[in-house]
Amino acid sequence: MTPQAAPPPASSFGPRLLSGLGAVGSVVATLIGLLFLTFAIGRLMPVDPVLAIIGDEATQATYDRVYQQLGLDQPVYVQFFRYVSDILRGDFGVAILTGRPVIEDIIRVFPATVELATLSILIGAGIGVPLGVLAATRRDRIEDHAVRFITLISYSTPVFWLGLIGLIVFYAMLGWSGGTGRVEIFYTGIVPPITGFLLIDSLITGNMDVFWSALRNIWLPAAILGLSSMAYISRMTRSFMIEQLGQEYILTARIKGMSESAVIWRHAFRNIRVQLVTIVALAYGSLLEGAVLIETVFSWPGFGGYLTSNLMIGDMNAVMACVLLVGVIFIGLNLLSDVLYRVFDPRTKAQ
């Protein structure tokens, strides 16, 4: 009797489609919640948006006219839908400080922060991950204690204090770094903005003098920011590695005679890559929105300084746009983490 062929496996298209729709729905719901949150911040802040525009010396008639132009005389739900409609059209209002559309200001200042944060996370992850692995493999020995002490000091020391000391030592005394700003003052405006990233734009246009000046100015604030992220990444890497090194498969690999470096990097470290993706992504997001103190100390013309300046004068258009951008950044980083999960761990594709 001829055996019957096994039935084909059930298609996984349906579950995958439902999973994809669920992910999209989750992102949409998060964005709606973020829009509501930024709208609520704009309404709950103890700042009168009308007075922030017209000043204290304006007449009552001027106040009433601007109040109506802003739509503040409408019900709250109408104001919210108007706010969402403006956001969807890319209209974040006009900044009081510059007189330009807020979106133009953000496009102008945000690349400076991205450039600084990117170099910082490269320093933080490039140093923090190896230090965390070293501390885990030499647990409770002198190397482990040294790494934990360094990370504790790096994490506890205020970045603004490190920035001031760094300027005194490396700029004023040793001359190893540039001063404040993205580039020395006589190089300002030489390179046309192509990507907005000064290091890249100077290379594209072949202005090597500007490139080296920009590099001299950025390495010190990037290194200081990188120290704090290095401490966080190192501690988490150590914790993840200690957990993996205690697993049975590590003992089996050692019994089989596998070299210690292969055990550490090919087995233990490989199994923590997915966790490290999230840690590094969150650290990067924190650098993008939390570099205010360093940008202030180094007069860095970035996103943090822009947000702080507008918060001080009560420009809620700019503040709400900045808060919304920060939220979108973290949502995007979480989505990127999910994609990288599938790259580093193909088993998640089946989930």
Answer whether 0.75 is exceeded by the pTM. yes
Q: List, for residues 264-304, the tens digit of each pLDDT value.
A: 888 888 888 888 888 898 888 888 876 778 888 888 888 88
CA–CA distance, 192 with 206 (Å, rounded to integer): 11
What mean pLDDT is predicted for residues 133-158? 89
DSSP output for 65-110: HHHHHTTTTS-HHHHHHHHHHHHHTT---B-TTTSSBHHHHHHHHH
> What are 302-349's pLDDT values in tens digits?
888 888 888 777 777 888 888 888 888 888 887 887 777 777 665 555
The string of pLDDT tens digits covering residues 241-255 is 998 888 888 888 888
Q: What ranges do the domains of the chain cover?
A: 27-88, 102-301
Structure token digits, residue 190:
């030489």
Average pLDDT, the chain: 82
Model pLDDT, residue 16 = 53
Distance CA 112, CA 251 (A): 48
* Residue at token pair 């980083």: 333
Q: Is 102-301 a CATH 1.20.120.140 domain?
A: no
Picking from 72, 80, 71, 76, the residue whose alpha carbon sits closest to that of residue 34 is 80
pLDDT tens-place string over residues 19-72 = 555 566 777 777 787 788 877 877 776 666 777 666 667 777 777 787 777 777
